[in-house]
Structure 1
Amino acid sequence: MELPKAYEPKNYEDDIYKRWEASGFFNPDNLKGEPYAIIMPPPNANGALHIGHALFVTLEDIMIRYARMKGKKTLWLPGSDHAGFETQVVFEKKLEKEGRSRFQMTREEFYKECWDFVQSNKHKSEDGLRRLGASCDWSRNVFTLDSEIVKVVYETFKKMYEDGLIYRGCRLSNWCPKHQTGLSDLETKHEERVEPFYYFKYGPFTISTSRPETKFGDKHVVMHPGDERYKKFKHGEKINLEWINGPITTTVIKDEAVDREFGTGVMTITPAHDRVDFEIAERHGLEMELIIDKRGKLLPIAGEFSGMKILDARPKIVEKLKNKGLLVKIDENYRHNVQLCYKCSNLIEPQIVPQWYVAMTKKFRDGRPALRDMALKALDDQEVKIVTERFEKIFRHWMEDIRDWPISRQIWWGIPIPVKYCDNCHAPIVDIDDSVLECPKCSSDSLTKDSDTFDTWFSSGQWPYAALLANDAKKGSKDFETFFPTQVMETGWDILFFWVARMVVLSYYQISKPPFEKIYLHGLVRDKDRQKMSKSKGNVIDPLGVIELYGTDALRFALIFSTAAGNDIPLSEEKIRGMQHFANKLWNIARFIVSNIEESGLSFQTMTEADTKITEQLDETAKKVTDNVEAFRFHEAAQEIYEFVWRYLADVYLEAAKEQLKDEKISVNTKKILLYQLVIVLKLLHPFMPFITEVIWQELRERGLIKNDDLLMISSWPQ
């Protein structure tokens, strides 16, 4: 009986995946050999899988299937991320569509509804991973809000607090007025804008600003100590002058942070709403008065403008200064960068907010090097290697310039900060198991829990060891002992600092080992014109949608075919369709071969020139594919297989074989060569196109053409 004329993926893929999963070989407990592990970057449990997920699944599944076929005890541990701020934003949009708001709910009600929302999406995401062919061990599946994970996160927090590396401080935060939370620098973006730049008289000086609404509290005028233009003004000198809401007294401050070439070389400072101003004020012990509230509205210090949104108030403030004769000029074409929330694109309004911070550049109390220095040493000692050299340089540069990391967020969804405060003496008390009932300092039993949650990157930054330890706690296994450090962390280059750097830092801190040996960073998937995919542009490719049309293997092969480490990937439906043609070509090759071979165990005889040439080409291809996979050059490995199958096997040898099969003297040997070629091609191609290769493999088994290995997935890699 012949194979069907055309390969229809939807007729096979679901059954094949169920067969793989039921076999138990996704579970390393059923495998022997040297341990090999990848901890899956957990997809956010707040929505459907996108094309970026399809890329990481393809890359990691290639590594895992290759390692498994090389005889390794292979673990690919899956999970889902609660994705604190990201999920809260998504869920609040859902509430908004329903005409509701979280501010109409109790915190407990909000959390429960968000939990149900996340659980529903989590299951959809896991189904999507199966559709993509992810050969991960579902028995070890973890969620970042699992109690075992939270326990690890809390233990790390407590230890860092006791080591003096975590502190609570009132510093300037990147505040989003829409989402009502502070954000790290990495959670903001910058946009160049052309806006008016105003020059005002300020006593004997001319000052300049793009934000006149912040100037109500400016009671210090700052200049560089080396600026000859202002040498007659002495540090600490008091000057009386007329300002927005009447006369004020300002104090002269000399500080080297002032750029003498910018504007007039003189600036007034608003320490509560600007980072440079904050640092100047901190150095000189100056008052830091709030001008703008957390909703982006002016406070009573603004007098008649109190309660107004800053953008509404700005022209009115300028008009008042003009009427007072204090407006010098306006530059209408001032080009500068503004800081925005990365989720809603609203202006960041810096605020002094109490936050929990991780000290990145401070040495331990016992003299051990700072967290930053641990990470840099890991690179220096080659304990962690980044596959692409340019990213190592970027990683190093970012680490050298790193600031303390704010790890608290003013949101409701996530892991709560495990701290209570004494209402009597205000002492903070770290309480990771909610067992502290009275203040250890003053014995008061009046305690209030911290209302903040952890930055999601603080918990996911512990993912490699926390996921393994969580399974040990759940199953009584020895996963951490067996698989840590893991072999590879594969993820997008865009979260090198958000996530990868923090995993390295936290692992060295908590475990004194790197979390993984190598870092492979993939690029972003873009459209065929290399434009960013977005719903507004209409160029988004839905991975599950194209799987329905062309099959999983076509999508996977299209994604991998042009994917050099770190480079962005142009993808189009035409490209996926082209890889569907390649899958059909492979199917037709298999169809021809199985229709011409009746039995296995055929013996070699004298080989024709065509036989010799195709065998040598296959051996060379197998070596190149192996070398490229080992070196993380997956696109080159895919191209080698594609070239061999289409150009040499299909276009050349199959044509020669058709003639040789007519000759009784050499037909037996030709059949042996054909079968050998197909078996090796299936093995080489399996990590890249797992479904069609497994389908053909099972056809060969059922026809008795191969005797060993129930599943191609656990067959041996060609030597």
Structure 2
Amino acid sequence: MTELAKTFDPAAIEAHWYARWEKEGLFRPDRPGAVPFTIVNPPPNVTGSLHIGHALDNTLQDVMVRYERLRGKDALWVVGTDHAGIATQMVVERQMNAQGQKRTDFTRDQFIDKVWEWKAESGGAITGQLRRLGCSMDWSREQFTMDPHFTRAVVKVFVDLHRQGLLYRDKRLVNWDPGLKTAISDLEVETREVKGGFWHFRYPLADGVRLDDGRDYIEVATTRPETMLADMAVAVNPADPRYASVIGKEILQPITGRRFRIVADEHADPELGSGAVKITPGHDFNDFEVGKRAGIKPGEMLNMLDADARVVQTADGLVPDAFLGLDRFEARALVVERMKEQGFLIPHVAKDKDGNPVEQDAEPRTIQTPYGDRSGVVIEPWLTDQWYVDAATLAKPAMEAVRSGAIEIVPKTWEKTYFNWMENIQPWCVSRQLWWGHRIPAWYGPKRRAEGGIEYDNKTGEFETFVAEDEATARKLAGDYYGVDPSDVGIANDFAKGLTRSLFTSELSIWRDEDVLDTWFSSALWPFATLGWPDDEATAPLLAKHYPNDLLISGFDILFFWDARMAMQGIQFMKDVPWKRLYLHGLVRAADGQKMSKSKGNVVDPLGLIDQYGADALRFFMAAMESQGRDIKLDEKRVEGYRNFATKLWNAARFCQANGIGASATLRAPAAALTVNRWIIAETLATVRALDAALADLRFDEAANAIYHFVWNRFCDWYLELIKGQIDDETKAVAGWVLDQILVMLHPFMPFVTEELWNALGTRAYPIIIARWPLVEGGAGTDDTDAAAEIDWLIRLVGEIRAARTELGVPPGARLSAVVQDASALTAERLERQAAAIARLARIAEVSHGAADAAGALQIVVDEATYVLPIGDVVDLAGERARLAKTRDAAAKERDSLAARLANPAFVERAKPEAVDKARADHAEKAAEVERLEAALARLG
């Protein structure tokens, strides 16, 4: 044995053990014939750093991987990072800007080289942070979504989906970030509350048409007046009688003079405002759908903004020159000004502080406004040509997989959300206007004339598209299309050069798409591309053994962006689900329940918690607090409490060392005759069964709490106390075996302290990370009900005596006598067998049977027997009665005051929920205190 230090110091052991595990390849020991267990980590951004959500997600994964590894499985935890297109490009561009450079000062290839240089020097800091958390990932196979083999998989998927008719180019609205000048996903949009306005305008009816009430205009309202420059319709509800007579009639839009129809569409709500809605299909997601239903094709929808969100001329040329080149918010102010000048603004009537009516241009409103989470710029719905995946088709088998049970979603309550999104899924925009990422494998060329030659229609801007795995294949496709040899097809650097060469020189050229793929597109292939796909199973043995994965652990917030898309792509390309179970955990919130954010200043750094309390304490907190379907409130006191738990285990191991208890020589429980040893063996095996059941159901909190209570209450507080003074060879063998089982059971949650203690307690054939999970069946003590009943009785008896002594102020060192009344023969036998333990733990000098004077004595009842303990010689009975009564009355007063507050509907309905919850908890605490004090008074007679 190696003598343990007096003080448990996490920092001293964490780096040492992690380096050894990784160096010796113990995160994936050689187990070729073992049953596989496979899990993939949600790949963090290569630019990222460990945040509290990562700490939760990866802790839960590591608990399962270590558990299955201990059970003898070939446990593979795939690890890697995502190339994070937008984030990484921003980081590199910022560095260049600091040096007075811009991305456009370089060619695309030169810029990409700079990104790779940055990755080699600074990228992947988060992988070191995952090591600090203790994540036992297979670093020997670390993946990156821009690795050559992964890029090959991404290109194949794109090309195959295109050939299958499931991926296409289309003109649709996207979330456009004018700061980054790219389309972004919904996940990269954050909604903020912004103080804005709601403007009301008159749109005049054309050709002298009037409403039934005589008005020659329709009133519309908008929070974005500038979009008026691209209006193409006004919608009214078909059931709204106010507008039935003008459906199909035309509006004469004031500023542009554009004429457009009034259309019937249920999008217009008769109960909101005037019931009429202006429709700008090129700049609003709802309007886009209304426009399509009204027969406006996407190619015909007007676009009034460029990539910088500045006003440009629309296709019909009707935007006045004064607006061209203005920022969208500058254009907003000018639109309002012009509408007001022409008498088309309907003022909002408010009241001043004296109650007098005051006219305002707009009704003040708080507006939910989308912002780019990285650029901080207001997002603009923008009509562009992008690449889309037919998600609706791919979603069908992914939904059936959940319905059939091929994929189990845990908790099951998330199924409804999953189906609701999948059943209403929209086409998935997969193209991004960046340089860093997987470049789209598509080339373009001019259209071929039917009569021969080529052409370019500037109005439609249409090209022929050649989707191919590589340039050579694209040349061949183009050669077949144009009827020339592939060697006669040139490759231009960009659209302008390619088109110019093709139209005005003898060199027919094609050019490659400038865009890259959304990172969610590549990460959707993570469960199988990381295992060697698209190689077949003969050349990618991991693919045959480890696909489908067993489990995916994910935050619920990426259920649609990543999880569902993995299900779609896995089934489409592997013809099987990507994983058998999907576990969705909640968010880690601040202690007051608020969502953590930098703007609120309530973000907690997990590395800081590790520095202060150790990785084991943080990990155990995460597991113990992870209750299915609930968010976690980060309570630093609880983290500190689990550091104390590790310290308690450390001290228990030191006690064992000091008493000659060391490493066990057997996997199965040793034979035991003593009741206390038989009891602890049965308790150990019961804990193993509880852990197995909890982890099978992914009940992390139940698993953590089961081992916590066994270690703290059963082993440390009772077993070690019960065996003091009687540690014979049997007890040494049993105690050593139990401590070994504790370390193995606790290892998935607290890997560092358990490995340190495992190796300090004796010479081991292997480190604990590859030890064997405790054996439950076929060993001693599995159902030792007699021993369990006796020790349970002893614990209750000692606990009751200790509590009574404390309540009644009996000095800790006072040794009392006890008279037992109405004891059964079984109780009498137990009293005799456990006399030494009762004397030591309850401070009882002697036990006798018979009648006793209850006056001046405390009394307790355990099962059928009454125990009378005279205390008149050691306690001032009158003074103690007075003290207890005074304390009881004070507690009762607080209890009743809290009860009155809770009975007041005004408090319950208007107070903050946390204040009501606290009042209820305080009331319950005071009520219990009153009961306890009354029981203490009753004991005194």
The structural deviation recorded for 1:604 is 5.9
Is the CA contact 1:563–1:569 (under 8 Å) kept in the aligned structure 2? yes
Alignment of 1:94-105 (within 5 A): 94-96=95-97, 100-105=101-106
Q: Deviations over 1:439-475 (max 9, x none)?
A: 1311454011001100100100011011001596999
Match of 1:631 among 681, 685, 697: 697
The structural deviation recorded for 1:77 is 1.4
Residue 13 of structure 2 is matched in structure 1 by 12
Q: Alpha carbons of 1:681 and 1:270: their partners in 2 closer, same or farther (altered >3 Å)? A: same
Instruction: State how far apart, in whole Å, the 1-side matches of 2:333 and 2:196 are.
Output: 12
Instruction: State how far apart, in whole Å, the 1-side matches of 2:103 and 2:138 are.
Output: 37
Residue 532 of structure 1 is matched in structure 2 by 595
Q: Deviations over 1:184-213 (max 9, x none)?
A: 334323344453212212112222222111
The structural deviation recorded for 1:538 is 3.9
Residue 275 of structure 1 is matched in structure 2 by 285
Provide the secondary structure at the position in 1 that maps to 2:201.
Answer: strand
Is the CA contact 2:670–2:737 (under 8 Å) kept in the aligned structure 1? no
Which is worse superposed, 258-267 or 493-502? 258-267
TM-score calculated relative to the size of structure 2: 0.71
Provide the secondary structure at the position in 2 that maps to 1:333.
Answer: strand
Is the CA contact 1:158–1:432 (under 8 Å) kept in the aligned structure 2? yes
Check if 1:550 corresponds to 2:608: no
Which is worse superposed, 574-583 or 160-169? 574-583
Q: Alpha carbons of 1:181 and 1:601: their partners in 2 closer, same or farther (altered >3 Å)? A: closer
Instruction: State how far apart, in whole Å, the 2-side matches of 1:481 and 1:66 are.
Output: 23
Q: Deviations over 1:626-683 (max 9, x none)?
A: 211111111211111111111121111111211213xxxxx22221221122011011
Which is worse superposed, 476-485 or 303-312? 303-312
Provide the secondary structure at the position in 1 that maps to 2:592.
Answer: coil
Provide the secondary structure at the position in 1 that maps to 2:303.
Answer: coil
The structural deviation recorded for 1:380 is 0.8
Provide the secondary structure at the position in 1 that maps to 2:272.
Answer: coil
Match of 1:678 among 739, 750, 754: 739
Q: Alpha carbons of 1:243 and 1:621: their partners in 2 closer, same or farther (altered >3 Å)? A: same
The structural deviation recorded for 1:507 is 0.7
Instruction: State how far apart, in whole Å, the 2-side matches of 1:395 and 1:715 are.
Output: 39
Residue 428 of structure 1 is matched in structure 2 by 465
Q: Deviations over 1:538-566 (max 9, x none)?
A: 43333333333332212211222211234
Is the CA contact 1:184–1:405 (under 8 Å) kept in the aligned structure 2? no
Check if 1:386 corresponds to 2:416: no
Is the CA contact 1:173–1:182 (under 8 Å) kept in the aligned structure 2? yes
Residue 751 of structure 2 is matched in structure 1 by 690
Is the CA contact 1:222–1:254 (under 8 Å) kept in the aligned structure 2? yes
Q: Alpha carbons of 1:174 and 1:242: their partners in 2 closer, same or farther (altered >3 Å)? A: closer
Is the CA contact 2:47–2:125 (under 8 Å) kept in the aligned structure 1? no
TM-score calculated relative to the size of structure 1: 0.92
Alignment of 1:249-328 (within 5 A): 249-286=259-296, 287-300=300-313, 301-328=319-346
Q: How many residues are treated as equivalent by the alignment?
A: 698
Residue 364 of structure 1 is matched in structure 2 by none
The structural deviation recorded for 1:575 is 2.7
Is the CA contact 2:35–2:73 (under 8 Å) kept in the aligned structure 1? yes
Provide the secondary structure at the position in 2 that maps to 1:716.
Answer: coil
Check if 1:340 corresponds to 2:371: yes
Partner amino acid, structure 2, of 1:226: A
Q: Alpha carbons of 1:470 and 1:5: their partners in 2 closer, same or farther (altered >3 Å)? A: farther
Is the CA contact 1:171–1:355 (under 8 Å) kept in the aligned structure 2? yes
Match of 2:380 among 349, 372, 384: 349
The structural deviation recorded for 1:536 is 4.1
Residue 165 of structure 1 is matched in structure 2 by 166
Residue 715 of structure 1 is matched in structure 2 by 771
Match of 2:517 among 454, 479, 482: 454
Is the CA contact 2:92–2:114 (under 8 Å) kept in the aligned structure 1? no
Instruction: State how far apart, in whole Å, the 1-side matches of 2:66 and 2:658 are.
Output: 29
Q: Alpha carbons of 1:36 and 1:280: their partners in 2 closer, same or farther (altered >3 Å)? A: same
Instruction: State how far apart, in whole Å, the 1-side matches of 2:685 and 2:703 are.
Output: 14
Provide the secondary structure at the position in 1 that maps to 2:471.
Answer: coil
Q: Alpha carbons of 1:342 and 1:302: their partners in 2 closer, same or farther (altered >3 Å)? A: farther
Residue 884 of structure 2 is matched in structure 1 by none
Which is worse superposed, 556-565 or 433-442? 433-442
Alignment of 1:473-492 (within 5 A): 476-492=539-555
Q: Alpha carbons of 1:581 and 1:155: their partners in 2 closer, same or farther (altered >3 Å)? A: same
Instruction: State how far apart, in whole Å, the 1-side matches of 2:760 and 2:625 are.
Output: 31
Greater C-alpha radius of gyration = 2
Residue 437 of structure 1 is matched in structure 2 by 475
Provide the secondary structure at the position in 1 that maps to 2:738.
Answer: helix
Instruction: State how far apart, in whole Å, the 2-side matches of 1:524 and 1:100 are.
Output: 40
Is the CA contact 1:174–1:184 (under 8 Å) kept in the aligned structure 2? yes
Q: Deviations over 1:369-427 (max 9, x none)?
A: x2121111011101001110121111111111111100101111111000000145421
Provide the secondary structure at the position in 1 that maps to 2:550.
Answer: strand
Q: Deviations over 1:239-269 (max 9, x none)?
A: 5x47125x44333333443333332222332
Which is worse superposed, 211-220 or 597-606? 597-606
Partner amino acid, structure 1, of 2:747: H
The structural deviation recorded for 1:499 is 0.2
Q: Alpha carbons of 1:52 and 1:231: their partners in 2 closer, same or farther (altered >3 Å)? A: closer
Instruction: State how far apart, in whole Å, the 1-side matches of 2:596 and 2:265 are.
Output: 46
Give the share of equivalent positions with the same residue, in percent.
38
Is the CA contact 1:24–1:30 (under 8 Å) kept in the aligned structure 2? no
Which is worse superposed, 293-302 or 449-458? 293-302
Which is worse superposed, 592-601 or 510-519? 592-601
Is the CA contact 2:661–2:736 (under 8 Å) kept in the aligned structure 1? no
Instruction: State how far apart, in whole Å, the 2-side matches of 1:24 and 1:290 are.
Output: 58
Is the CA contact 1:47–1:121 (under 8 Å) kept in the aligned structure 2? no
The structural deviation recorded for 1:221 is 3.3
Alignment of 1:695-706 (within 5 A): 695-702=756-763
Instruction: State how far apart, in whole Å, the 1-side matches of 2:124 and 2:190 are.
Output: 32
Is the CA contact 1:32–1:71 (under 8 Å) kept in the aligned structure 2? no
Instruction: State how far apart, in whole Å, the 2-side matches of 1:42 and 1:221 are.
Output: 46
The structural deviation recorded for 1:488 is 0.2
Residue 244 of structure 2 is matched in structure 1 by 231
Q: Alpha carbons of 1:669 and 1:471: their partners in 2 closer, same or farther (altered >3 Å)? A: farther
Is the CA contact 1:140–1:471 (under 8 Å) kept in the aligned structure 2? no
Residue 419 of structure 2 is matched in structure 1 by 396
Is the CA contact 2:523–2:562 (under 8 Å) kept in the aligned structure 1? yes
Which is worse superposed, 619-628 or 294-303? 294-303
Partner amino acid, structure 2, of 1:338: T
Check if 1:415 corresponds to 2:426: no
> What is the RMSD computed on CA atoms of the aligned residues?
2.5
Residue 842 of structure 2 is matched in structure 1 by none
The structural deviation recorded for 1:691 is 1.1
Instruction: State how far apart, in whole Å, the 2-side matches of 1:410 and 1:167 are.
Output: 17
Which is worse superposed, 541-550 or 68-77? 541-550
Structure 2 unaligned spans of 5+: 205-215, 314-318, 349-361, 449-462, 491-508, 777-941
Structure 1 unaligned spans of 5+: 362-369, 662-666
